[in-house]
Amino acid sequence: MSQRIVELVIGRLVTDEGFRRRFATDPRGVIDEIACCGRELTDCERRALLSLDPERFDSFAEVIDPTLLKADLSGGIS
């Protein structure tokens, strides 16, 4: 099941601007939040997700069809 969670997290990092912004500023907090919601991640998966470069997701999001993206209308205000 945790591989599916990893896939969901990576997909959300690509398509959800607000989630991506939160991950860029507090990756450990985002990963902890995912775990608190009952989504299981192994220690290895947590480390792998924490090692991801948020800028890569920004670059990838730029080439994704806009209809697949979730815009953050808050302007980065939490």
| Total number of domains in the chain | 1
**Domain for residue 28, yes or no?**
yes
Tens of pLDDT along the chain (78 residues) come to 588 999 999 999 999 999 999 999 999 999 999 888 878 899 999 999 999 999 999 999 889 888 888 877 676 554
**Domain for residue 78, yes or no?**
no
**Domain for residue 74, yes or no?**
no
Report the chain's terminal Cα–Cα distance, integer Å.
30
**Domain for residue 68, yes or no?**
no
Residue 3 structure tokens: 């591989």
pTM of the entire structure?
0.80
**Domain for residue 18, yes or no?**
yes
**Domain for residue 32, yes or no?**
yes
**Domain for residue 69, yes or no?**
no
Q: For residues 42, 47, 50 and 55, what is the CA-based torsion angle, rounded to 10 degrees? A: -110
Domain span at 19: 2-61
